[in-house]
Amino acid sequence: MGKFRQIYQELKFKKQNLAGLFDIEIKVKPMPIEVDIRKTFLYKWGKEEGLKEGKQEGLKEGRQEGLKEAILLGVQIKFCKSKVKEAKTLLEKVNDVNKLKKIKRKIIEAKSWDDFIKTFRNHK
C-alpha cells in the first residue's frame, strides 16, 4: 500500500506543477478496482487454514465423544444399566481428553460404583 501512496503523492505533486504552468485544474479520481476475492492468495490461504482448524476441532470432538461412549458402555457392563444416566450427567462436565482417558481406565480399576464416582470428584 505504501508504494501506491508514494505514486499518488508524486502524481498529485506533478498535477499541481502542471496546473500552475498552464493555469488549469487537473482532477484525478481513483479508479475502482474490482477483484474476485475467491481468486486471491489470501482467500485460498485463509480457506486452507480454516479447513485445517475445522478438521482438528472435529477430530478433538470425535475423540471426546468416542471416549464418553466407551465410558458409558463400560459403566453399563460393569455396574448396570441404571448407572448410565448418572454417569452421562457427570460426563457432560468433562471435555478434556486426558481426563476422559483416566476415567475410562478407572472403570476397570474401580471395585465399586462409589469408587468409580470418586474419579469425577478428583478430576474437576
Q: How many domains does the chain have?
A: 1
CA-to-CA separations, 115 to 29, 45, 56, 109, in angstroms, rounded: 78, 50, 34, 9
Would you say residue 7 lies in a domain? no
pLDDT value of position 46: 83
CA 79 to chain centre: 37
Residue range 10-36: mean pLDDT, rounded: 66
User: pLDDT tens digit string along 59-105?
Assistant: 999 999 999 999 999 999 999 888 899 999 989 989 999 999 999 99
DSSP state letters, 101-115: HHHHHHHHH-SSHHH
pLDDT value of position 98: 92
Would you say residue 54 lies in a domain? yes
Q: Are 70 and 104 in contact (CB under 8 A)?
A: yes
Domain that holds residue 52: 35-122
28 φ/ψ sector (left φ>0, alpha ψ -120 to 50, else beta): beta
The better pLDDT of the pair 43, 112 is held by: 112
Would you say residue 40 lies in a domain? yes
Would you say residue 62 lies in a domain? yes
Would you say residue 17 lies in a domain? no
Model-level pTM greater than 0.85? no
Would you say residue 5 lies in a domain? no
DSSP three-state, residue 10 = helix
Would you say residue 12 lies in a domain? no
Would you say residue 16 lies in a domain? no
